[in-house]
Amino acid sequence: MSIILNHLGTPEPPSDIVRRLRQVDPKLGLRFVPFPTGAVWAITLAWDEFDPRRERIQKGELSREHDFDALTYLPLDCSPHEAFGYFTRAVVQSTTERIKWLVNRAQLFNQQQTEDAFKDVMDEAMAEVEDKGSRLFENSGGRRVPKSTGADFTSEPPKKDSKKKEKPVAA
């Protein structure tokens, strides 16, 4: 994964991970965190509007840029699929109700994405069956075909000749 730097020379968060986080909850975000041991991404949760910690910002003890909790950290080259695993492993044991709710939302979001993708594939497949299925046995020569093909079963199949042909005996 390539890293894009902004005008300050710090990495920009990967937009696909940020988009997925915001779809789970608009208060989730991704921030670049330079540690002495190496830089990482932090999955963050913005403080609620009436969070008591905001008083520290009003008093000037904290910058407005620090109004979040870091939930977990990701390596700089983390893919969107790996990010979900880091997120759930880090917060699944949390005792905070808000965090438990977020994990549940993330799981529901991923489940919905899977169901939507499956529905799209099934809709395409069913349209293909409806389009081509009725023509599948057009030249079946009067043989019986499954009802699922939509074939006409109101008419009688052709009667077979009652006299059986005998097989020639080899001499």
The ranges assigned to domains in the chain are: 15-132
pLDDT band for position 30 (cuts 50, 70, 90)? very high
pLDDT band for position 165 (cuts 50, 70, 90)? low
Q: How far apart (Å, rounded) are the C-alpha atoms in residues 76 and 168?
A: 81
What's the pLDDT tens digit per position in 112-136? 878 888 888 888 888 877 777 666 5
Instruction: Identify the H or E element spanning 127.
Output: helix 97-133
Q: How far is CA 130 from the centre of its chain?
A: 28
DSSP label at residue 149: G
pLDDT value of residue 80: 82
CB 83 within 8 A of CB 20: yes
pTM for the structure as a whole: 0.54
How deeply is 14 buried, as exposed, middle or buried, from its count of CB atoms within 10 A (0-12, 13-18, 19+)?
buried
